[in-house]
Chain A
Amino acid sequence: MLERQETLMNTQNKRKILGPCALVFTASNTGSWRLERPLVDAELCVRCGTCAKYCPAGIITIHKAGETPVEIDLRYCKGCGICVNECPKRCMKLIPERGEE
């Protein structure tokens, strides 16, 4: 997401804009306040994409092949747990940010 915006800005001609707007958004990453984050059991996952559809932040990518079926961009994940609740295979869980892995 961030990379895309930076590329966009570098390729655009400069022009003046009045009022509040931004082409680079650096303030939307989650920071250090998230208490839990989702973890996927890659053995059980069937790559159905339900978690990605429900993610309110739109930061889940499903890989149809490869060892990692579900890629979660933790820079923006708020740890809301909706993906965990929606997973039809119950192969996701929330784990604490601090403490045991």
Chain B
Amino acid sequence: MPIKMLDGNGAAVEAIRLVRPGVIAAYPITPQSSIAEHLADEVADGRIKAEYIRVESEHSAMSACVGAQLTGVRAVTATSSVGLALMHEVCGVTSGCRLPMVMYVVNRSLAAPWSLWCDHSDTMAERDSGWLQFYAGNVQDVLDLYLAGIRISEHPEVLTPSMICQDGFFLSHSMQKVNVPEDDTAFGFVGSYQRRNMYLDPEDTMFVNDLTPTDDYGEMRYQQMVGFRNAARVTEEVFAEFEKTFGRKLEVIRPYMLEDAEAAVVTMGSMSGTARYVVDELRKQGIRAGALQIVMYRPFPAEMIARALKHVPVIGVVDRSAGLGGAQPPVCTEVTAALHGGTNDIRSFIGGLAGRDISNHSFERIFADIIAIRAGKTNTHCQWFDVKVNAMDIRTVSGEEES
């Protein structure tokens, strides 16, 4: 397998080329732009034999892809942040019509405050849109999860689209060593696209996404739920076959040193490697630390997570989105629900917003909090672990305080 130096967006373009799409419709948005640009190059140079549709927005990109995929080809788009938010309406059409599209999302925070940098607020806002969600931990994951995602989404018992999420800049613009499979091996693994379920064909007509009465709507949502339930099983089968074909292990969750852990963190995305590094450092000091990376967030692997964490007394869950107004932010909510009825002390941590680095020092701080709780020294922790102490005073203008 040839090894290339690629950033996350480069790996995304390689993966898309390997699955031989028929139509590409993408609108450039930072930090996804180099995917849209390089896909255009690949089409212009004939390395991807697809129709590239230039669209005026992400809403149009997803709409074009829905129509294209209904004719019986793989349709490809990619986006970030407010682009994904603009797609929101059509994302529901894709999943509701059971179109097995696989889309890259390069995670970037939502506006306002306007920002170009990474957090998970964009994809967290889509967590109930009926798409599977996988979060890459490194650039190799970016490529591998796409190939696996195609197989999972297109499985006849799943027929549910997937978002392959990679952290903006931390992965999308970070050069790493990537194993790129040979064209034939990769295409042999994903296979050619099979038109299933609904389709657009002038020789065999049907109306797609017509007005559906109350009588049928709940049933169609139930059908989607069955698709998600099957996706959990199919993902494990596909990951096992992936390892056999490519020799690399893909996992739904990545437990690290959890067997005897007294305190553990739960992470998603590019911060996960840093968490494992800090676990190693703490272990050298004799502290029994552990970490769990969630790769598949939808469907949420609740039972697997419960098995992996049930014996860990104190758990810190790191959310890279604020989850404003919730009892807990989104990842912590799910982990808490997965461990419901257990004796674990689960603490929520929020940080790394809009590209603020989650460094080894961040995890040292988080671990210090949960280890102190474990030792009975305190019962409080700092939820917004990286926010400045003067958060309420960062903008001032001259003049009297308004009464």
Contact = CB atoms under 8 A, between A and B. Distances in A.
A17 interface: yes
Between A21, A22, A25, the greatest number of chain B beta carbons within 10 A of the residue's beta carbon is seen for A21
Interface stretch (B2-10, B203-211, B283-291): B203-211
Contacts of B211: 27
A92 to B, nearest CB: 30
Contacts of B212: 20
Contacts of B208: 20-21
A8 interface: yes
A20 B207 CA distance: 9
B98 A19 contact: yes
A62 B173 CA distance: 60
B205 A20 contact: no
Interface in B104-150: none
Interface in A9-26: 12, 17-23, 25
Contacts, number: 47
B209 A20 contact: yes
B98 A25 contact: no
B50 interface: no
A5 interface: yes
Given A5-B205, A8-B205, A20 B223 contact: no
What class of interface size applies to chain B in its complex with A?
A: 20 to 34
Contact of B209 (A12, A21, A23, A27): A21
Interface string A57-75: 0000000000000000000
A22 B197 contact: no
A19 B198 contact: yes
Between A8, A20, A22, A23, the greatest number of chain B beta carbons within 10 A of the residue's beta carbon is seen for A20
B220 A22 contact: no
A96 B206 CA distance: 35
B207 A17 contact: no
A17 B205 CA distance: 14
A20 B224 CA distance: 12
Contact of B97 (A19, A25, A27): A19
B206 A22 contact: yes
A19 B197 CA distance: 9
A94 B159 CA distance: 49
A66 B88 CA distance: 53
Interface string A15-44: 001111111010100000000000000000
Contacts of B209: 19-21
Nearest to A24: B207
Between B159, B205, B206, B223, the greatest number of chain A beta carbons within 10 A of the residue's beta carbon is seen for B206
B96 A19 contact: yes
Given A17-B197, A18-B197, A18-B223, A23 B97 contact: no
Given A18-B98, A18-B159, A18-B223, A23 B197 contact: no
Between A17, A19, A25, A27, the greatest number of chain B beta carbons within 10 A of the residue's beta carbon is seen for A19
A31 to B, nearest CB: 14
Contacts of B206: 17, 21-23
A21 B198 contact: yes
A21 B209 CA distance: 5
Interface string B219-230: 010011001000
Contacts of A25: 207, 210
A25 to B, nearest CB: 5
Contacts of A21: 97, 198, 206-210
Contacts of A20: 96-97, 208-210, 212, 216, 220
Contacts of B197: 17-19
30 contacts: A5-B205, A8-B204, A12-B204, A17-B197, A17-B198, A17-B206, A18-B159, A18-B197, A18-B223, A18-B227, A19-B96, A19-B97, A19-B98, A19-B197, A19-B224, A20-B97, A20-B208, A20-B209, A20-B210, A20-B220, A21-B97, A21-B198, A21-B207, A21-B208, A21-B209, A21-B210, A22-B206, A25-B207, A25-B210, A27-B210
Interface of A: 5, 8, 12, 17-23, 25, 27
